Amino acid sequence: MNLDEYNEKIKHIEKQADLDKFKAAKEYALSNSTVEINDVIDDHIGKVMVNKIKIYRSSPPQCVYEGVECKKDGTPTKRVKTRGVYQSNMKPNAKLRCASRDSGEASH
């Protein structure tokens, strides 16, 4: 084995390790999340209807819920504005089901 082959092998090992770390972070974050797509969640800024869930590799890893800002009743605002909510910033028991998924009623 020469130096170039050694460097390539190390790069491959590091790339595989990064992929494995991301898989573990994703598994951890999603296993500690109760939020699903189309849920309406609440944080210190306001409500958001989730349309995408990303992984933030903090320590410990957490989800970032992206979606459209909503009014207090859980319906989207007239001015469509999207933003993210970090899992650690969610208010306790701050999840509502989207009214369209629950036959017109939102519950805590």
Q: Which of 7-11, 23-27, 68-72 has the lowest mean pLDDT?
A: 68-72
Nearest to 42 by CA among 81, 100, 93: 93
Residues contacting 35, CB < 8 A, separation 6+: 41, 50, 53, 63, 65, 87, 90, 95
- Joined together, the tokens standing for residue 40 give 């309406």
pTM for the model = 0.75
What does the pLDDT read at residue 75? 81
Band of the pLDDT at 99, cuts 50, 70, 90? very low
Name the one residue in this structure whose structure tokens are 């989800």.
Answer: 63
- pLDDT exceeds 60 at position 106: no
Q: In this structure, are residues 63 and 30 in contact, taking their beta carbons and an 8 Å threshold?
A: yes
Band of the pLDDT at 78, cuts 50, 70, 90? confident
Band of the pLDDT at 94, cuts 50, 70, 90? low
Band of the pLDDT at 77, cuts 50, 70, 90? confident
- pLDDT exceeds 90 at position 28: yes
